[in-house]
Amino acid sequence: MRRIQGLLLSLLLVLLISPLPVMAAEVLRVRSSSLLQVGDHNRTYTVRLACLEVDPSNEAEAIAWLKSELPRRRRVNLRPEGASDGVLLARVNPIGSEVDLSTGLVTAGLGRLICESAVS
């Protein structure tokens, strides 16, 4: 009986310690140089890339860059920074990448960061 209790306790600890799968959002569409349509299971969201400003002359290039980084159904992590007029403002990281898309666009020379927290 003690052996069974020990095994059950060990199994319970393994289940509690092991990470559970995280359900990430998926990119459904790149709407503009700073707007994405994402979904998770049965909901869709409009997400604006946080702290990013893209010059209108770079709009087409920025959209092309985002589409190359975010093919349809690419899974992403969202780190919310706020909301404005029903649009989520978030840092967006493709799964497997450590650089958020706002920073990627800046590095590509297609935008600039406009938040103080983005500089640090």
Within a domain: 18:
no
Q: Residue 47: inside a domain, yes or no? A: yes
| Residue-level pLDDT, tens digit, the chain, 120 residues | 666 655 445 544 444 454 434 457 899 999 999 999 999 888 898 999 999 999 999 999 999 999 999 988 899 999 999 998 889 999 999 999 888 999 999 999 999 999 865 444
pLDDT of residue 99: 87
pLDDT for 72: 82
pTM attached to this predicted model = 0.74
| Domains held by the chain: number | 1
Domain assignment of residue 17, yes or no: no
**Domain boundaries, position 74:** 24-119
Q: Is residue 10 part of a domain?
A: no
Rounded Cα distance between 117 and 34, Å, is 18
CATH number, domain of 97, equals 2.40.50.90
